[in-house]
Structure 1
């Protein structure tokens, strides 16, 4: 018998980004590595005009000089973008639901392009009742 053992990573997480209740788009550690995000990362963000019902985002790597480029923010080890206004314009109910995006890498005009594909399932956020807040 000729067995070939497969190296299976215990970490099965995929690169993803999640909208927080504050409207910030946070990136998990796999996304940070995959997208090569650091303290000086800039992106230009786009929507697909041909698919108005689509809730995907398109991030193209940029420089500080590129028109409309936004800089990644960092708090501790956490990278994020404050995109609440954009999510409101897109009709995403991030205050009511947990909304996440899977990230797929491509290319646009010679630059890396990251498609943030909205997951189909939105999870209702757990809310604490006012009674439980008063007793804490």
Structure 2
């Protein structure tokens, strides 16, 4: 028998990343803590090219600056990626939608990666709310 025990603190925490109106992808404090982002220098981001209906993203974290990867930027206590060009090319409507990605660890080709599961929330129209 081989037992695997789960860390309740990791399962309870909600790792998230949100696309800001500037197109940057910002990570939650929980994601910062669990993923230990202070040690990460760059991030590769990919999509599932076999499934056009898979709107999730897939990430690999790197402890060094990897050519072609997104450089991780620290702003105060938070970390983000300059992903405006990526989201524009993927036609993600981050201006009219709040785009949130729930982050889960998964395995791809024997390597641990992160799957960012997308969910969209319609932004409220502030001008319409004032009427």
TM-score of the pair, normalised by structure 1: 0.75
Alignment of 1:1-136 (within 5 A): 13-38=13-38, 40-64=40-64, 66-108=66-108, 111-119=111-119, 122-129=120-127
Following superposition, the deviation at residue 127 of structure 1 comes to: 4.2
Following superposition, the deviation at residue 89 of structure 1 comes to: 1.6
Q: Which runs of 5+ in 2 are unaligned?
A: 1-7
Q: Which runs of 5+ in 1 are unaligned?
A: 1-7
Q: Distance in 1 between matches of 2:78 and 2:98?
A: 18
Which structure has the highest helix share of the two? 2
Coordinate RMSD, CA, aligned: 2.5
| Bigger Rg over Cα | 1
Contact 2:42/2:65 (8 A) holds in 1: no
Greater displacement, 65-74 / 93-102: 65-74
TM-score of the pair, normalised by structure 2: 0.77
Q: Distance in 1 between matches of 2:30 and 2:84?
A: 23
Aligned positions, number: 120
Following superposition, the deviation at residue 88 of structure 1 comes to: 1.5
